[in-house]
Structure 1
Amino acid sequence: MNFKSSYNLFYIVTAFAVTMFFSCKNNFKEVQQIGIRQNEPIGVAEHMNLKYTDSGRLKANLISPKMLDFSNREFSYNEFPDGVTLHIFDERDKKSIIIADYAIVYNNTDLIDLRGNVLITTETKDSIFAEQLFYDQKRDWVFSNKPVRYVSPTKIVTGNAFDSNRDFTSFGISEVTSTVYLDDETSL
């Protein structure tokens, strides 16, 4: 009888162990997400001063009062809800400045989406106004498919799209809606 009960105990333990083995699943990602809400940032930084360099040379400097880090997402990004100031430097260290009310930096694509009262001032004192601009850090390219206004000391041009290299020495405005030439005595 003792021999039979030990076999029964062995079968019960084996059945329990097999059941436990097949019921377990790999949920490491779920465990990592414990305590992190789906719509919450993984981190918050204040008084940001982010510098983008290439081969030891400063190419861009992004300054913002607040950054929300959403790198816990599948398509990770950083959000700047309180606005940004972006300084872009050319090969001669001449600086153009982009200011926006809001920005998102997409980490996988190095694309910066600038929105709301976007203003670009160039080294030559030209200004570009738009509601949305994109800066592609990999291609050193600034563009928009929204209405823009370009102001220089000699003219004001409005259009529906904008393309430029990073130092604004070669740019174009598509679908020009108006051009106003200014007198030498006119000041903005």
Structure 2
Amino acid sequence: MKLISTYRMFNIVTAIAVTMFFSCNNNLSQVNKIGVSENEPIAEAVDLNFKYIDSGRVKSILISPQMLDYSNRSYPYKEFPKGLDLEVFNEDNKRSNIIADYAIIYDLTNLIDLQGNVKLITADKDTLFAEQLYYDNTKGWLFTNKPVKFRTGLDLIHGNGFDSNSKFTNAEVLEVSGIVTLDE
């Protein structure tokens, strides 16, 4: 009787062990996702004041009340839901400034989407006003197909669309709807 009881116990333990063995898998990505909802950011920064320095020289300063990092997604991005203020310094240490109510940076395409009261002031004091502006960081190219106002010198140019390189040496307002020359 004791031998039969021991034999049954052995079979039960073996069955449980085999079941546990086959139910386990080695999926590290699933383990890493534990506790992180796919709809939630993996990180959040508050009162961001980020200085990018290269070769001992400040290249840019990014200020934002909030940044959400969604690098845990299959198409990773960083979101600035409360806007940003970005200062960029050229080789002569002259400053350009970009302000927007909202921004999103797509990591894989290196594309920046600025939205809401976008204002770009170049080192030469040319100013672009737009509701949306894209910047392709790989190509160094600014563009939009939305209405813009571009002040260069004494001219204020209204149009639907804008194209330029990042140095504004070939800035062009597309579909010009009006040009106003301002008094000094």
Give the alignment's TM-score, normalised by structure 1.
Answer: 0.81
Change (3 A) 1:143 1:56: farther
Question: In the alignment, what sits opposite 1:151?
Answer: 151
- Sort the Cα spacing of 1:100 and 1:112 in 2 relative to 1 into closer, same or farther, 3 A: same
Greater displacement, 158-167 / 49-58: 49-58
- Which structure 2 residue ranges, 5 or more long, are not aligned? none
Q: What's the counterpart of residue 60 of structure 1?
A: 60
Per-residue Cα deviation, 1:60-104 (whole angstroms, up to 9, x for no partner): 332112212222222222211111111223333322111111111
What is aligned with 2:134?
A: 134
- Residue pairs, 1:69-148, within 5 angstroms: 69-148=69-148
Paired with 1:82 and 1:12, the residues of 2 have a C-alpha distance of 59
Opposite residue 139 of structure 2, the aligned amino acid is R
The one-letter code of the counterpart of 1:65 is: P
Supply the distance in 1 between the matched residues of 2:98 and 2:28 (Cα, whole angstroms).
42
Relative to structure 1, the CA distance from residue 111 to residue 47 in structure 2 (aligned partners, 3 Å threshold; closer, same or farther) is same
Supply the AA of the counterpart residue of 2:169: T
8 Å Cα contact 1:100-1:114 kept in structure 2 = yes
User: CA shift at 1:133, angstroms?
Assistant: 0.8
Q: Secondary structure at the match of 2:38?
A: coil
Aligned to 2:17: 17
Higher alpha-carbon deviation: 112-121 or 93-102: 93-102
Give distance in 2, aligned partners of 1:163 and 1:59.
23
Q: Distance in 2 between matches of 1:55 and 1:74?
A: 33
Q: How many residues align?
A: 184
- Tell me if 1:29 matches 2:29: yes
3-state DSSP class of the match of 2:39? coil
**Which one is further off, 138-147 or 17-26?**
17-26
Q: Higher mean Cα deviation, 20-29 or 136-145? A: 20-29
**Residues of 2 paired with 1:47 and 1:125: CA distance?**
28
Between the aligned partners of 2:81 and 2:95, the Cα distance in structure 1 is: 24
Deviations 1:13-59 (A, max 9, x none): 44443332222233433332232233222222122123445666544
User: Alpha-carbon deviation of 1:151?
Assistant: 1.3
Q: Deviations over 1:83-141 (max 9, x none)?
A: 11112233333221111111112223332211100011112221111001112222222
Structure 1 Cα separation of the partners of residues 161 and 36 of structure 2: 40
Secondary structure class of the residue paired with 2:146 = coil
CA distance in 2, matches of 1:84, 1:75: 22
Identity rate, percent: 53
SS of 1:92's partner is: coil
**1:90–1:166 Cα contact (<8 Å) kept:** no
What is the one-letter code of the residue matched to 1:91? E
| CA shift in 2, pair 1:52/1:165, >3 Å | farther
Change (3 A) 1:171 1:153: closer
Structure 1 pair 135/59, CA: closer, same or farther in 2 (3 Å)? farther
